[in-house]
Structure 1
């Protein structure tokens, strides 16, 4: 009798736990982003190009740390050769550096 109860109760318990986590994650996703709830790797509001540069900076820093390369945004290939032209280059570099520094700061535990 107890064996049969365990066979039925265990899957039901697992489903209940998983559905609760989904509901909780959905509720968190619907919150308006604030400075406190915005993750360190989420780009600040701005143009799509600025957000892309920030994400590129985060990714470059993570790759540099993983490969044990010099930690310096200005030595990164995407900083030296930004994938944009003209006046947008400085904006890209600025947002790239912000993302890079955010990743380094997060990884150092500061």
Structure 2
């Protein structure tokens, strides 16, 4: 009986401790409808979404290269890869993505 207790007690402890992180992880996760990643483009036109993604990438590259942090100084902002009326949509998305990336990097997250 003593051998059984010696073996069973640590096994029960391991079993209880291994289940705790699973439950804690499940409680911390929110549903996808409740949260949106900072680098996910908001709903809008295809050009605005592409501008947002390009803005996020440009901000990360500017920060890594230690360039001036300014969305309007970026090559893609000045020369958007879209034509006509879509330029304004692209530029507004680009600025929003650039600012989101800078805000995210400044928050240390």
Secondary structure, in 3 states, of the residue corresponding to 1:85? Answer: coil
Corresponding residue for residue 106 of structure 1? 104
Corresponding residue for residue 87 of structure 2? 89
- Unaligned runs of at least 5 residues, structure 2: 1-21
Corresponding residue for residue 33 of structure 2? 33
Paired residues for 1:1-110 under 5 Å: 31-34=31-34, 37-109=35-107
> How many residue pairs get matched?
93
Deviation >4 Å, runs of 4+: none
What is the deviation of 1:81? 0.1
Residue by residue, what CA displacement relative to the aligned partner does 1:50-91 show, whole Å, maximum 9, x if unpaired?
111100000000000000000000000000000011111011
1-structure distance, mates of 2:33, 2:58: 25
**Does the 8 Å CA contact 2:48/2:91 hold for their aligned counterparts?**
no
- Rg bigger for which structure? 2
2-structure distance, mates of 1:66, 1:55: 17
What is the deviation of 1:46? 1.5
What is the deviation of 1:48? 2.2
2-structure distance, mates of 1:59, 1:85: 21
Taking structure 2 as the reference length, what is the TM-score of the superposition?
0.69
2-structure distance, mates of 1:62, 1:33: 27
